[in-house]
Chain A
């Protein structure tokens, strides 16, 4: 008798739960389609420098005392920088500010048509040097720690290798590709045999964002549909919907790429694999990884579909630094730097490493 009652109760509970979720799903569903984009990148900041596609942010400190060495974050050129400042509690920038770092960030805006001539030299040397000079001016410190994510890591690595670490105290890279022949789908789609990069860039100038987005989506074609299915299943959960919208907004918010920069990236990195072979020359400076002698931190993700481990692993092996830390963590390309995985795994390790080298 008691058993039947429990069963009845649980059935009743289940029905109530189903009705509740259906109602909530409808409310969230309507708000999903009617409301504006969710707010992102909310940490307080000043734009202290702006030149064309480049913006330099200086975040307001969140501690009474900061480390001597400021931090300059170089973000990937194909995506918006707010992935590192998604929302309070899930923001690498906020985490670093609370941990006592003085944080600067290089943010990219869509390059304008007249910026199609911006080259790899502009992105990896001129812009970074310009920002380091401004950081030095603002803080009074001649050196900063460079942190680069994905292609931002490539730019930071090229800069550090070109100038043998001048102005750089530490280099921290997340999922930074070095062996571009191991870049899976990207290596295949940009294959020299059939990809006419010259003709494409000469005809259209800047590479449109939908081309970049298609490239990302081709690395895992089913994931987008499965994500939509997951959204439908969890539509009753307001937190899930809000987080989903933020990540979805970011993942589809790709930037166009400056034509010349794209051409050089394809030819020098994908075709010649210059960063791995040491034959890359940027702005007349040979880019040899062994010239990097500053302390290096490199974190990569075990399930990274965009930058496989085999593409990023050579970084720590080829640099000339004696002080180097190379870690492989669970997760994917984005969850390594943003989300619960990052909060619990990568950020504390980065803080422990950087703290010892920033005073």
Chain B
């Protein structure tokens, strides 16, 4: 938004106000005290979230249901399988390309640099 200082006085006022508020905001948000408060707020929020999730895991365990941690462990296992699949897939592709002689699809990769086409043009005329 800044940088567009047109002739409209309202627009100019808004731009100038925006700049001043941004400077003020940066001074406030960049201060050490604000940083401390933010850190306390973020860690408190995270701690509450963690306690709630622990309590929920206990309840789910009571009802013989998987908790988020169990699901995450399963997903991690799937991730490891996925990783091995990728490696196998890549090896298969390598084998296939060796067999097929590496024929490539798509347009020809023969485009010349701009300078070459520019220097060619005068010769053609």
By a beta-carbon cutoff of 8 Å, the part of chain A in contact with chain B is 49, 51-52, 61, 63-68, 100, 102, 112-115, 130, 133-134, 137-141, 184-185, 188-189, 191, 193-196, 199-200, 203-204, 211, 218-223, 226-227, 229-230, 303, 351-352, 355-359
* A303 engages B111 (CB within 8 Å): no
Judge whether A102 and B109 touch: CB under 8 Å: yes
* Contact yes or no, B1 A230, CB < 8 A: yes
Q: Could you give 28 example pairs across A and B, Cβ below 8 Å?
A: A51-B82, A65-B111, A66-B107, A66-B111, A67-B109, A113-B68, A114-B73, A114-B79, A137-B90, A139-B104, A139-B109, A140-B102, A141-B109, A184-B26, A189-B38, A193-B35, A194-B39, A196-B39, A200-B43, A204-B46, A204-B50, A221-B22, A223-B18, A230-B1, A303-B3, A356-B114, A358-B111, A359-B111
Inter-chain contact B29/A188, CB cutoff 8 Å:
yes
Residues of A contacting B46 with CB < 8 Å? 199-200, 203-204
In the A-B complex, the 4 residue pairs with the smallest Cβ-Cβ separation, listed nearest first, are A221-B25, A222-B21, A203-B46, A114-B75
Instruction: List B residues 88-113 near A (Cβ within 8 Å).
Output: 90, 93-94, 97, 102, 104, 106-113
Chain B residue nearest to A140 (CB atoms) is: B104
- Is B115 located at the chain interface by the 8 A CB criterion? yes
Q: Report A-chain residues with C-beta under 8 Å of the C-beta of B49.
A: 203-204
Q: How large is the interface on B (under 10, 10 to 19, 20 to 34, 35 or more residues)?
A: 35 or more
Given contacts A204-B50, A229-B14, contact A189 B35 (CB under 8 A): yes
Shortest beta-carbon distance from A179 to chain B in Å: 17
- The answer to whether B86 and A195 have CB atoms under 8 Å apart is no
